[in-house]
């Protein structure tokens, strides 16, 4: 078994905490506040930058990659359960605060992923259900991508409709700048782990064949 660097746990927790504080401070300073007639570019950068940095770190560092692959996929999947809070999007749509074009797909998508996360964590997070596990993770990513895309383009699709500008200020701004990229990264980790399960299984089969010969 490959040993992982225990310091990565503390480092990762510190980076996530610093990331949250940075997102909170930037939101408080209205860095992400954008005119409804313009695409929310600052918000988009804030959502994509953490994902890009994670992928670069994951690709460049063997020790970090080993640490990530050693995380518990059940725990990572179970964390997606908080997305049941997508009910808030439906409530904001009902009160005319967010447009249905964005709030309905984002809300219902999050509710489905959040409601099924505990079941997936308990039953599919293992090599025997690798394909189903990966499929669910991909669906979770698709939900996040759809929500972000509709949030960024709703004003262009329906210029006279309700704007998505509430998503650029507190407290909703923490969703695209912190929660969405973090959950996206968790999905990526789980998929990487599931791909590793296949490599481990092939390796084990090869070792058994060699031993039998």
3-state SS of the chain? CCCCCCHHHHHHHHHHHHHHHHHHHHHHCCCCCCCCCCCCHHHHHHHHHHHHHHHHHHHHCHHHHHHHHCCCHHHHHHHHHHHHHHHHHHHHHHCCCCCHHHHHHHHHHHHHHHHHHHHHHHHCCCHHHHHHHHHHHHHHHHHHHHHHHHHHHHHHHCCCCCCCHHHHCCCCCHHHHHHHHHHHHHHHHHHHHHHHHHHHHHHHHHHHHHHHC
Counting the structural domains of the chain, the total is: 1
137 in any annotated domain: yes
- If you average pLDDT over residues 100-118, what whole number do you get? 97
172 in any annotated domain: yes
Q: Which range has the top average pLDDT, 9-13, 167-171, 185-189?
A: 185-189
- If you average pLDDT over residues 146-173, what whole number do you get? 92
Q: What is the pLDDT of residues 120-159, one digit of tens each?
A: 999 999 999 999 999 999 999 999 999 999 998 898 888 8
Q: Given this model, what pLDDT does residue 211 score? A: 47
> What's the chain's average pLDDT?
90
Q: Which of 27-31, 102-106, 196-200 has the lowest mean pLDDT?
A: 196-200
Among 89, 114, 88, 108, which Cα is nearest to 99's? 89
- If you average pLDDT over residues 47-64, what whole number do you get? 96
Structural domain of 37? 7-205
Q: Given this model, what pLDDT does residue 198 score? A: 67
28 in any annotated domain: yes
39 in any annotated domain: yes
1 in any annotated domain: no
Overall pTM > 0.75? yes
210 in any annotated domain: no
2 in any annotated domain: no
């Amino acid at each position: 078994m490959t040993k992982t660097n225990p310091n990565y746990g503390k480092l990762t927790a510190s980076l996530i905490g610093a990331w949250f504080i940075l997102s909170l401070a930037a939101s408080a300073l209205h860095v992400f506040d954008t005119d409804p007639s313009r695409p929310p570019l600052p918000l988009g950068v804030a959502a994509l930058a953490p994902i890009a940095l994670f992928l670069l770190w994951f690709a460049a560092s063997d020790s970090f990659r080993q640490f990530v692959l050693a995380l518990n996929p059940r725990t990572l999947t179970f964390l997606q359960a908080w997305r049941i809070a997508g009910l808030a999007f439906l409530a904001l749509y009902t009160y005319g605060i967010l447009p249905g074009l964005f709030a309905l797909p984002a809300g219902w998508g999050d509710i489905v992923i959040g409601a099924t996360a505990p079941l997936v964590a308990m039953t599919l997070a293992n090599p025997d259900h690798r394909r189903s596990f990966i499929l669910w993770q991909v669906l979770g990513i698709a939900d996040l991508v759809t929500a972000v895309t509709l949030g960024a383009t709703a004003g262009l699709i329906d210029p006279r409709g309700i704007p998505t500008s509430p998503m650029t200020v507190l407290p909703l701004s923490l969703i695209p700048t912190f929660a969405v990229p973090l959950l996206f990264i968790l999905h990526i980790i789980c998929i990487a782990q599931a791909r590793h399960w296949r490599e481990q299984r092939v390796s084990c089969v090869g070792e058994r064949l060699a031993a039998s010969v």
